[in-house]
Amino acid sequence: MAGGQASEKQTGGWAADGRGPCVWDTFTHQGGDRVFQNQTGDVACGSYTLWEEDLKCIKQLGLTHYRFSLSWSRLLPDGTTGFINQKGIDYYNKIIDDLLTSGVTPIVALYHFDLPQALEDQGGWLSEAIIEAFDKYAQFCFRTFGDRVKKWITINEPNILALLAYDMGIFAPGVPHIGTGGYQAAHNLIKAHARSWHSYDSLFRKEQKGMVSLSLFCCWLEPADPNAVPDQEAVKRAISFQLDFFAKPIFIDGDYPQIVKSQIASMSKKQGYPSSRLPEFTEEEKKMIKGTADFFALHYYTSRLVEYHENKKGELGFLQDVEIKFFPSPTWQGVGWIYVVPWGICKLLKYIKDTYNNPVIYITENGFPQCDPPSFDDTQRWEYFRQTLQELLKAIHIDKVNLQVYCVWSLLDNFEWNNGYSRRFGLFHVDFEDPARPRIPYRSAKEYAKIIRNNGLEEPL
């Protein structure tokens, strides 16, 4: 059982020791109320100087695995290997070595939304040049850290990144390209992942014997009216657009789901585009993309109900292409966008098992937030975790899902993108007003530690 963090959200030290700026530095420094109270990740949890404190938290929990991400621009300030920042290498070497010395397996993500600004200036994920840049960065990381790191995530939640950053413009770099940018970015993200997997496979796997995948975000979806065929069909489309869009090319056959291709093509035609807004893979690219993941890494937080919503006017946009509306059930409890639906994770795991040939699954993120100010006695939140863990037991024992790793999001309260510090996901509280950034365990940290110690829930199924 594991915990996780991401570099941009936790580390801070944004300009320390030669780190180059990333898109989130630029985005948050521009202000304009796109982030809660115009907060930034400049200091965040201060983990750049307080790693020893984080390690104490990891040991206190008794974690077996720890997932964290590397800051691309801390290692390669302009995104290329033209200049390599040794202090960045030293920082991550210390983290990796300390984890291994403490008996904790590192799970390392190469990239978690924090693209070096220098590469964004050249077009970012909308430009095909990014594929080569990412592959070179990946090879640099495999070469530098792969003697000790055996579990790699290339790209964190490419499905969320493509939509929120490059289509809707809610995430950095914050420039919307409605109806086109998300598909262009997704196309390049898939190819960049596949290229870097092949680099590992051909240059490093024999000696390093590690595993490489990418992590996909997915909400479980149910029809708003379980008896209405249009809603049932809408759910199938929505899962195809959300999860299978990336998973099918990578795990099955190198190409997008047929329903995705036909929906976007017919909408594009109605809108007067000469060809589909979704780019096509060549036959050669399909061969390169197929089979480029060694396990299935999944992020689950919540579920939604889905209703068919015909795009009569031919409006441009992602949800318009899928022809759906989605919303929570009025019976679900929630904080912000996360409604508590523990049974959703069980259904999603079964879907992945059945659709993707029973892969080894790592849940690399799952968590529940508190609002500010949080309660140290977070009994209600722990109840959500307990229910989720019971659903995982069902998935393993009843549905025979091959689930091998579970990571809580997150070790510490941290910078939650547009929500700033207003949503607290940590097992440990961080006081962002105190320069020392003290870490104090919530009740859920103590309960999680107990489960790890006992290797299971006290009251199983």
> Of 365, 391, 416, 447, which residue is the catalytic one?
365
SS3 303: strand
CA distance 250 to 218: 16
Give the residue carrying structure tokens 């984890």.
99
Give long-range contacts, CB 8 A cutoff, 24+ apart: 98-102.
98/51, 98/55, 99/55, 99/58, 99/66, 100/148, 102/55, 102/58, 102/59
CA distance 40 to 17: 19
Please give the C-alpha separations between residue 356 and each of 149, 158, 286, 294, 393, in angstroms, as whole numbers: 26, 18, 17, 12, 20
For this structure, is 285 an active site residue?
no
> Of 8, 53, 120, 157, which residue is the catalytic one?
157
Q: Output the six-digit token pair for 281.
A: 């893979």
CA distance 37 to 138: 35
53, amino acid identity:
E
SS3 217: strand
CA distance 393 to 388: 9
CA distance 28 to 172: 8
Contacts of 223 by beta carbon, 8 Å cutoff, 6+ apart: 231, 232, 234, 235, 305, 306, 307
CA distance 126 to 344: 33
Q: Output the six-digit token pair for 382.
A: 């722990």
3-state secondary structure 225-288: CCCCHHHHHHHHHHHHHHHHHHHHHHHHHCCCCHHHHHHHHHHHHHCCCCCCCCCCCCHHHHHH
Please give the C-alpha separations between residue 331 and each of 112, 226, 231, 367, in angstroms, as whole numbers: 33, 16, 19, 20
For this structure, is 157 an active site residue?
yes
Catalytically active residues, by annotation: 157, 365
